[in-house]
Chain A
């Protein structure tokens, strides 16, 4: 205990011990303080503790003698109350100390053996039981002496006081076990949470990653299919780990901004269908209010066009949410085309993108030429009062 405090304060452990002993000598406050600290502070795991050396033990004996001397001196010089209060109180305290100390030792034994929550005393063996009984006897006798010193009390009052004193004695003796119980409950709760967490992760990995790996092994002769599966799984795992509602994020209640998530989902669908990687970057986010669903639909159509016609393995998608408007850029480095020569039967661009954007007051800009790749730029104004998040 002293070493813990010494470590905390950054002073030699001997000083702390001397201070405790001095306090103990002067009316027993040191003992109480030490006992309280011991009970309330979590003990270091005994496995990490350095074993006590002969020098340590020598020092301890010296300190105890010093303490006893101080106490005696205190008693000799003492006033009346030092005689009839400190005496019995001291005896009771020593008893309590013995019991508490025993609880601590048994606790350590339990850690070492790794046994479950069996009562500490029983594991301490016969000697421990003996020591605990001795301690209890000391506490009882301390209280008894204190009571007897009260002398000429009425019988009713004496009975009342005795009952109270007994209760106090029992409470004092069982303090360590109450504390242990509470700590053990806390530990157990934490362990349970950890176990549940682990089970959740294991279940998720099984449902997603292991299944996909099995599928990949079955499909290993089709490079396209393998890439599609791997990419789909990667996306799913990423959103689980890093997504707005993902595992790695703090749990939040209430509505989340949905525009970025919806765009990511649309890109994911296109990826799955056409086995083309979509690199999506979204700056800012907002709720999926009107007319943004139309923008996402138009973006999706542009991604489909790029995946189908560009002849490349990856497409860049960039979206930026600004207070007044939202932009989406869909770009590939593929074959490109001549917009003037586009066949009339290709409805994708005309209807699904241009028509949809214009109906909602948005604009479409197309940059492309044969061999130059294609970029579709979509812009739409947000309705007033939209909250950017």
Chain B
């Protein structure tokens, strides 16, 4: 099992952890060509998660956004400096823009909603483990919204991180429309690798930009 992707689950609802674990166990080892996804541990609170991740050193952490004692953002804050290699994928029922943006800015490589199917979740875990971000349509919508150039909006500070290129915008729009990377590549006549590069660049900008909308969402919850 050493070749597999080792996953750590963080959620304060035991029922939900059990459900996700069952889904991952069922869907995580179906394809013999791909590395199996194995749940190696779980945590029900921020403290448990931090201790568990330090002890088990998983490849990917599936992180709930809403938990007592600071939630997913607090886990990110405490684990990231110690273990920069651990990849985080946020998993939440929340639709609130500030939650989504806050965990992304906290260092998560992706955001999926809890209604995602087991197969899609395994796919998302493999993708973040491979270094690519995972944008749900909703996250793509929020990022587009946050980077929109509106009349009267705050001036752009650093064009390098405060503006999206037209191509990145196109990719985000297609993501928001529910297109998979493969479909985006076909639609825009570019390679899947290029799509991934664009999405990575958007993720980086979302994490680094100090645009008013992004800072506001994050700072309203004091999670910058």
Chain A residues in contact with chain B, CB under 8 A? Answer: 238, 241-242, 248, 277, 279, 281-284, 316, 318, 320, 323, 329, 331, 375, 388
Chain B nearest CB, measured from A381 CB (Å): 18
19 extra interface residue pairs, beta carbon distance < 8 Å, beyond A281-B141, A283-B141: A238-B95, A248-B96, A277-B115, A279-B137, A281-B137, A281-B140, A281-B176, A283-B144, A283-B145, A284-B145, A316-B177, A318-B137, A320-B144, A329-B177, A331-B178, A331-B179, A375-B177, A388-B150, A388-B151
Contacts of A242 in B (CB 8 A): 94-96
Q: Given the known A-B contacts A318-B177, A331-B178, A388-B151, are A281 and B94 also in contact in the complex, defined by CB atoms under 8 Å?
A: no
Contacts of A388 in B (CB 8 A): 150-151
Residue of B nearest to A332 (CB): B178
Whether, in the assembled complex, B148 has its beta carbon less than 8 Å from a beta carbon of chain A, the answer is yes
- Of A281, A284, A316, A320, most buried by chain B (CB within 10 Å of CB) is A281
Q: List 8 A-B contacts (CB under 8 A).
A: A241-B95, A242-B96, A281-B138, A281-B141, A316-B137, A323-B151, A375-B177, A388-B151
Looking at chain A's contact residues, the main secondary structure is: strand
B17 close to A (CB within 8 Å): no
Chain A's closest residue to B146 (CB) is: A283
A-contacting residues, B133-147, CB 8 Å: 137-138, 140-141, 144-145
Q: How large is the interface on B (under 10, 10 to 19, 20 to 34, 35 or more residues)?
A: 10 to 19
Q: Which 3 A-B pairs have the closest CB atoms?
A: A316-B178, A281-B141, A318-B177
Q: How far is the CA of A194 from the CA of B95 in the complex (A)?
A: 25
User: In the assembled complex, which residues on chain A have CB atoms less than 8 Å from the CB atom of B95?
Assistant: 238, 241-242
B173 / chain A contacts, CB cutoff of 8 Å:
318, 320
| Contact (Cβ within 8 A) B141 A282 | yes
Chain A nearest Cβ from B114, distance in angstroms: 10
- Which residues from 168 to 185 on chain B have a C-beta closer than 8 Å to any C-beta of chain A? 173, 176-179
A282 to B137, CA, bound (A): 10
A281-B140, A283-B145, A388-B151 as given contacts; A318 in contact with B94, CB under 8 Å: no
Chain B CB within 10 Å, residue with most, of A241, A279, A331, A375 = A279
- Complex Cα–Cα for A331 and B137 (A): 12
B94 with A283: CB separation less than 8 A? no
Determine how close the nearest CB of chain B comes to the CB of A328; give it in whole angstroms. 10
Q: Which chain B residues numbered 44 to 76 have a C-beta less than 8 Å away from chain A?
A: none
Across the two chains, which residue of chain A brings its CB closest to B95? A242
Select from chain B the residue with minimum beta-carbon distance to A377.
Answer: B177
Residue of A nearest to B180 (CB): A333
Mostly helix, strand, loop or mixed at chain B's interface?
loop
- On whether the beta carbons of B150 and A318 are closer than 8 Å, the reply is no
Q: Is the CB of B96 within 8 A of A283?
A: no
Chain A CB count within 10 A is highest, among B115, B144, B177, for B177
* Residue contact B148 to A318, C-beta cutoff 8 Å: no
Q: Give the complex CA separation of A318 and B96 in angstroms.
A: 17
Residue in B140, B173, B176 with the greatest tally of chain A CB atoms within 10 Å = B176
Select from chain B the residue with minimum beta-carbon distance to A231.
Answer: B115
Cβ-closest chain A residue relative to B172 = A283
Which residues on B sit within 8 Å (CB–CB) of A331?
177-179
A331 to B187, CA, bound (A): 14
Q: Are B141 and A279 in touch, CB under 8 angstroms?
A: no
Q: Which residue in chain A gives the minimum CB-CB distance to B141?
A: A281
Contact with A along B85-125 (1 / 0, CB 8 A): 00000000011100000000000000000010000000000
Q: How far is the CA of A248 from the CA of B179 in the complex (A)?
A: 31
C-alpha gap A98/B151 in the complex (Å) = 65
Shortest Cβ gap from A203 to chain B (Å): 22
Most B CB contacts (10 A, CB to CB) among A248, A279, A284, A318 go to A318
A284 to B146 alpha-carbon distance, docked (Å): 9
Query: What is the CB-to-nearest-CB distance from B188 to chain A, in angstroms, rounded to a whole number?
Result: 14
Chain B residue nearest in CB terms to A248:
B96
In the complex the two chains form, what is the Cα distance from A388 to B95 in whole Å? 22
Closest to B145 in A: A283
> A330 — nearest CB in chain B belongs to which residue?
B177
CB contacts (< 8 Å) of A284 on chain B: these are 145, 148
Taking the closest CB of chain B, its distance from the CB of A135, in whole angstroms, is 46
Write out the residue numbers on chain A whose beta carbons fall within 8 Å of the beta carbon of B94.
Answer: 242
Cα separation A46 to B64 with both chains bound (whole Å): 37
A221 to B128 CA separation, bound complex (whole angstroms): 38
Instruction: Report chain B residues within 8 Å CB of A241.
Output: 95-96
A228 to chain B, nearest CB (A): 14
Among B94, B144, B151, B178, max chain A CB count under 10 A is at B178
Q: How many whole Å from B109's CB to the nearest CB in chain A? A: 20
Please give the distance in Å from A387's CB to the nearest CB on chain B. Answer: 9
Give the CA-CA distance A284 to B179 in the complex, in Å. 20
Q: Which residues of B contact A282 (CB under 8 A)?
A: 141
Contact B178 A283 (CB under 8 A): no
A248, B95: Cα distance in complex, Å: 11
Residues of B contacting A283 in the complex (Cβ-Cβ under 8 angstroms): 141, 144-145, 148, 176
Report the minimal beta-carbon distance from A286 to chain B, rounded to whole angstroms.
11
CB distance from B29 to the nearest CB of A (A): 25
Task: Write out the residue numbers on chain A whose beta carbons fall within 8 Å of the beta carbon of B151.
Answer: 323, 388
